Amino acid sequence: MPDLSPIAPFVRQQGFVILDGGLATELEKRGHNLNNKLWSASILISHPEEIRDVHLSYLIAGADCITTASYQSTIPGLLEAGMLQEEAKALILKTVDLANEAREIFRENDKEDESRIYPLVAASIGPYGAYLADGSEYHGNYNISRVALQEFHQSRWEIIANSKADLFACETIPNYQEAAILLDLLKSTPGKYAWMSFSCKDEKHICDGTPIAECVDLVSEIDQIVAMGINCTAPRYISSLVSEIVNKGFTKPVVVYPNSGEIYNSTEKTWEGKSDFLQFGEACIDWYKEGATLIGGCCRTGPEHIKAMRSSLTRELYKA
């Protein structure tokens, strides 16, 4: 039976899939203040073309897949910001449209490089903690019922399931129960694919304390999952976490896109520390050798990190 996963052509042809990096970082570099509850989603309202241009910058840097600005774009959050229901739905769909626009611009201007496969658009599904905007995506203690949590996710899921995204990116998931809910939603939309990536607090556990190995058992049951792994986690934990996933017997691609290693201050809504794209260019080789196939960056990484990683992986795989 042929592999219908949207990432399969990339794995077959080049052996890896390069993801994009942080969106908010690049918007801040362009002079936008994101210190609000909607975070990067606020720019969807005020300067949507900037989001499209950030997507384009990642494609130019070498990303095979760009992730939409829907991480913090939720129906409850947009309603609280003063939107009507239909306006909120339209804005969530716009996140996919902007990514598709960037993809088309890239392909139109990159006709000479026929070796590049047509890039993918992954629709970001952030955790409930992103809506709370209090840093709880880094601990997962929501104090919410399963029913309420499912209702929260279902409203956005149903909208994006009818969009032109190639797959879902269920990302920065800190909570085992939340992962199970998202997997139920995936099963309710046959023909759709997703990767599932967890935020982790150390070398073996996701942020709510569940061993990553237990998450492997949960995710492995779902045929529509194309990859599983870790994101928005300190780079120093990535190799160990990948080993935990692989040693547990996960046979599909592993996805990793760590943050820069800086520390998030949830009170000030700022990142503290320093990011080094050259170190990412070196570290991604180790991640690949440990078993990662989908590789990119998360908070505080930018196009220069993605360019360095694509260059390093290409040299490593084709040096012979």
Q: Which domain holds residue 91?
A: 8-318
> Within a domain: residue 1?
no
Q: Looking at residue 298, what is its pLDDT?
A: 92
> Within a domain: residue 208?
yes
Write the pLDDT tens digit of every residue in 53-111.
999 999 999 999 999 999 989 999 999 989 999 999 999 999 999 999 999 999 988 76
> Within a domain: residue 3?
no
* Predicted TM-score (pTM) of this structure: 0.92
Q: Looking at residue 274, what is its pLDDT?
A: 53
d(C-alpha 110, C-alpha 125), whole Å? 29
Encoded amino acid at 201, one letter: K
Residue 145 to residues 48, 67, 154, 320, Cα–Cα distance (Å): 34, 29, 14, 54
Q: Looking at residue 277, what is its pLDDT?
A: 47
Q: How far does Cα 300 stand from its chain's mean position?
A: 13
**What's the domain count of the chain?**
1
Write the pLDDT tens digit of every residue in 112-161.
667 789 999 999 999 999 999 888 888 888 989 999 999 999 999 999 99
Write the pLDDT tens digit of every residue in 199-230.
999 999 999 999 999 999 999 989 999 999 99
- List the Cα angle 95/151/159 in 5-degree steps: 30
> Within a domain: residue 2?
no
> Maximum distance among all alpha carbons in the chain?
58
Q: For residue 1, what pLDDT band results from cuts at 50, 70 and 90?
A: very low
Length of the chain: 320
196: tokens are: 């599932």
d(C-alpha 228, C-alpha 253), whole Å? 7
CATH number, domain of 30, equals: 3.20.20.330
